[in-house]
């Protein structure tokens, strides 16, 4: 399921605070929350496949949290069970959705032994 939080208005700290309130309300209490954060570790595709497998084996819902233009409020990072980065470049959140979807597909392909991922390429 994809849930989008409307863009906020006001000062950057106020936008982040309001977005955090809406995001926190949307995350199921039993979910594993994974926040995409610029300062977080950036796993390899193989490492993400291992993480995804471990998370899925818990049988808890997964919630990937993508921040808005102002980034994530500290309250989101506090709630997050894990953080990860798709790299050190800054991307529009709409593009991050596509990049995350592709990486999740790749991770699932790796975990299932499908040849989609060509890890042997230089």
52: confidence class by pLDDT, cuts 50, 70, 90: very high
Give 71's DSSP letter: B
- What is the distance between the alpha carbons of residues 64 and 27, in angstroms, rounded to a whole number? 9
Reported as a single tens digit per residue, the pLDDT across 58-87 is 999 999 999 888 889 999 999 999 999 999
Whole-angstrom distance, CA of residue 25 vs CA of residue 10: 20
Is the Cβ–Cβ distance between 60 and 4 less than 8 Å? no
User: Strand 62-66 vs strand 32-36: parallel, antiparallel, or unpaired?
Assistant: parallel
- Nearest one of 70, 85, 90, 94 to 19, comparing CA atoms: 70
Per DSSP, helices labelled H in the chain are 12-26, 45-57, 74-79, 93-111
What is the reported pLDDT for 120? 60
CA atoms within 13 A on the CB side of 2: 8
Tell me the C-alpha distance between 97 and 91, whole Å: 10
CATH 3.40.50.170 is the classification of domain 31-111: no
> Residue 41: pLDDT above 80?
yes
């Amino acid at each position: 399921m994809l849930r989008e939080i409307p863009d906020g208005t006001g000062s950057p700290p106020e936008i982040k605070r309001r977005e955090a309130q809406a995001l926190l309300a949307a995350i199921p209490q039993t979910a594993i929350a994974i926040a995409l954060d610029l300062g977080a570790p950036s796993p390899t595709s193989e490492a993400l496949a291992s993480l995804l497998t471990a998370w899925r084996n818990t049988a808890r819902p997964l919630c990937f949290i993508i921040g808005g233009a102002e980034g994530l409020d500290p309250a989101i990072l506090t709630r997050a069970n894990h953080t990860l980065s798709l790299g050190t470049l800054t991307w529009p959140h709409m593009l991050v959705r596509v990049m995350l979807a592709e990486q999740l597909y790749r991770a699932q392909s790796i975990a299932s032994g499908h040849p989609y991922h060509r890890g042997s390429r230089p």
